[in-house]
């Protein structure tokens, strides 16, 4: 399927700028091995999409109300500890239910935690191979980005959150260039980044855990304030701490 086709079919939700449409039409990738003849979105409540919409639209009170109505059937946990996130994934999955870690392609400083979004995965191995294959999502070593997982779903995800999108009196947008973060100023690029996180946060059929790194200020590329503010905002949205 074409990633651009999937987004075009949901234009009212995912596209607010003609520049995004133009970019996707020029850069969409075709992955025929992963074509789904039947949409798997029917497995997930529409309220999950509403929850994510409220979170990304800076509506924490509304997000909390929605989450309170679905959390018994669709858990969303929040943690600062990657080992806890991995343990939760392994405990939740039963039988062949698929788990995996996903992150924004712009989350470059997650590499400090062993989450290297620049390492390209082979999608068929990540999505289809079993728990005994180190290339599969089950191993929680290779990371899928929004480009890999757009239009697809797995059962349980860990969404690793970096400060290319961070919260401080609303959402702020950055791109990591060379050895430092740079502010994103173009509206189309901001919207595209926001929609990238929307994709990541809506890929789990049955539940997810969001990992926000806990850092100190010893690394200038990982300012503690940005990670902490993002975590506090997500907590304000009512997500369950673990």
Q: 238 in the Ramachandran plot: left (φ > 0), alpha (ψ -120 to 50) or beta?
A: left
Report the DSSP pairing between strands 204-211 and 76-79: parallel
Confidence band for 18, pLDDT divided at 50, 70 and 90: low
Express each pLDDT in 97-108 by its tens digit: 999 999 999 999
pLDDT digits (tens, 9 = 90+) for 25-44: 555 555 454 444 334 443 45
What mean pLDDT do residues 204-230 have?
Answer: 97
* Lowest-pLDDT range of 34-48, 127-141, 170-184, 215-229: 34-48
Name the strand (E) or helix (H) holding 181.
Answer: strand 180-183
Residues 6+ apart with CB under 8 A from 207: 74, 75, 76, 77, 92, 155, 156
Which residues, in sequence order, are bridge partners of residue 167? 171
Query: In the numeric block, which tokens belong to residue 32?
Result: 């025929």
Helix pair 187-200, 18-27: axis angle to 10 deg: 60
Give the other-Cβ count within 10 Å of 216's Cβ: 8
């Amino acid at each position: 399927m074409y990633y651009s086709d999937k987004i075009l079919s949901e234009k009212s939700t995912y596209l607010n700028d003609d520049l995004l449409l133009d970019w996707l039409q020029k850069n969409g990738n075709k992955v025929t091995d992963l074509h789904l003849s039947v949409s798997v979105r029917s497995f997930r409540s529409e309220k999950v999409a509403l929850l994510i919409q409220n979170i990304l639209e800076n509506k924490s009170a509304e997000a909390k109300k929605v989450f309170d109505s679905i959390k018994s059937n669709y858990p969303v946990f929040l943690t600062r500890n990657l080992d806890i996130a991995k343990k939760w994934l392994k405990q939740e999955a039963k039988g062949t239910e698929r788990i995996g870690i996903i992150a924004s392609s712009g989350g470059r400083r997650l590499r400090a935690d062993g989450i290297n979004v620049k390492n390209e995965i082979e999608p068929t191995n990540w999505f289809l191979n079993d728990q005994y294959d180190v290339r599969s999502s089950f191993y929680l070593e290779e990371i899928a980005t929004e480009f890999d997982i757009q239009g697809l779903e797995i059962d349980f995800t860990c969404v690793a959150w970096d400060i290319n999108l961070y919260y401080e009196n609303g959402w702020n947008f950055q791109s990591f260039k060379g050895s430092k973060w740079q502010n994103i100023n173009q509206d189309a690029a901001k919207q595209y980044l926001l929609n990238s996180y929307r994709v990541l946060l809506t890929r789990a059929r049955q539940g997810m855990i969001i990992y926000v790194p806990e850092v100190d200020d010893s690394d200038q590329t990982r300012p503690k304030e940005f990670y902490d503010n993002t975590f506090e905002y997500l907590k304000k949205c009512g997500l369950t701490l673990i």
